[in-house]
Amino acid sequence: MNRQHAEIELYINAGDDEQNAAIQEMLNTLELDQVVENTLLAAGITQPVMLTLLITDEEGIRDLNKQYRQQDKPTDVLSFPLLEEPLVKAPADELWTKNEEREGEKRETAEGNRAAFVPPPGVITNLGDVVISWPTVVRQASLSACSWCAASCGI
């Protein structure tokens, strides 16, 4: 099996420069590439992929949640997939669907299951954007009596 590391674009916008630097320092202690790679492997994804990760504050994630989901409240994680088809087979209720499917038009393969999307060889698949609320990571870590690192890996 030929495994390749995921390309991760990391952005931190959690308030002021001091807060952003503190978060960056904490993230430097986390093997972010390894966390992403382990997550992808657990999902059975071995092809070259890339994703964007934005760490933000509650105001930032609330704004995005309101803009894209019409929910005027903060949340822990938002994801914005860029694929026409999911990379892994899973039950329909665990996967995002294309817009026409959301509007009631179901599309299934002959077997009644979703077919896995496979990009052309050598093409890096852009999985999309993931936005994480840093205050939520810290809050969840304190509520579960675990480190922020363990909490962020579990979001």
Question: Is 1 a domain residue?
Answer: no
pLDDT in tens, 25-45: 988 888 888 888 888 888 888
Question: Is 54 a domain residue?
Answer: yes
Question: Is 127 a domain residue?
Answer: yes
User: Could you tell me how many residues make up the chain?
Assistant: 155
Domain of 98, CATH number, reads 3.40.390
Backbone φ and ψ for 97, nearest 5 degrees, come out as -125, 160
pTM comes to: 0.68
Contact indicator for 48, 18 with CB cutoff of 8 Å: no
Question: Is 2 a domain residue?
Answer: no
Report the pLDDT value the prediction gives residue 37, as an integer from 0 to 100: 87
Question: Is 53 a domain residue?
Answer: yes
Total of domains in the chain: 1
Tell me the residue range of the domain where 49 lies: 7-154
Question: Is 59 a domain residue?
Answer: yes
Helices 58-69, 134-143: inter-axial angle, 10-degree rounding = 110
